[in-house]
Structures are given as structure tokens and as C-alpha cells.
Amino acid sequence: MDRTDRAIIEHLTENGRLANTELADLVGLSPSPCLRRVRHLEGTGVITGYHAAVDPAAVGRGFLVLLHVEMAVQDRSTIEAFEAAVTGLDEIVHCLRLFGQPDYLLWVAVPDLDTYERFYMAELTGLPGVARTNSQFTMKTVKSSPGLPIPYR
């Protein structure tokens, strides 16, 4: 990946709706080579997709909870069952398996505290293999980046 590829990534991270001609101008290429580079970055998995950034509160999911999960059992079947269950819950918007403790970090997005409590009691407490959880409620989003900073200059 060279400086031009990094510039393409930076510009598309800032605005994924850039027309190819605009992007080509910004990175100093003609449209055809620029499009080839974008397609190559997509094809090799460097660019994994495009999406709209949505304000969670505007769609009724403004109560964000960071949930730490420690597993009681860590055999393969329990881990696979836990992860399969998590992927089926729309309220869980992000899940990371970690080395060390906790075993998982989950971001939960719901309308309010009452909804979170109901979700917690109905769904989260029944997830396979869970020993302990710790919920942290978001006070304020200070920074939220749409992608990774890719220095190219």
C-alpha cells in the first residue's frame, strides 16, 4: 500500500459518497486508475464496506451500555454458543472477544435504562457460559471516529 492508496482510504473514510472523479482529483489520479485502486482495496479486504453514520438517539437507541462479560466456562462449544447467541441480539451492536479479563466487551444500544434492565434480565443473564457481568453506562460521547486514521503525508 503506497501513499496514494492511503490518501484514497483517508478521503473515503471521511466521505464514502465521493464520486470517483472527485476522489481522483483529490488524490492526483485520473478517474480510471483511481477506480482500479479503489476496486483493488475493496477486493483485497482493505476497504470492508461503506455505511451511513447514524445518531443512536435519533433512532431510539441513545442509551449506550458497555457490558463486561466474564465466562464461567471457556470450552469451544460454550464460546461458540455464546457468540452465536450474541450475534442474534439486535440490541448488541458491537462485541469483542478479548485476551485476559473481561472475556468479552459488548456495546448495547437501547432507548433507556428501563429497556436495558428488561433486556438484561430477559436475554443477557441467559447467555451461555456467563459467570459475571459489569454494566457501564455512557455519560457522554467525547470522540467517535468513523474509521482508522491512516497517515499518508
pLDDT tens per residue, range 52-85? 888 899 999 999 999 999 999 989 999 999 999 9
pLDDT band at 152 (very low <50, low <70, confident <90, very high): low
Rounded distance between C-alpha atoms, residue 16 and residue 51, angstroms? 8
DSSP state of 46: S
Residue type, 34: C
- What value, to the nearest 5°, has the Cα angle with vertex 104 and ends 98 and 107? 120
pLDDT in tens, 98-147: 999 999 999 999 999 999 999 999 999 999 999 999 999 988 889 887 77
pTM here is 0.81
Please give the grid coordinates belonging to residue 37.
485502486
Higher pLDDT, 55 or 19: 19
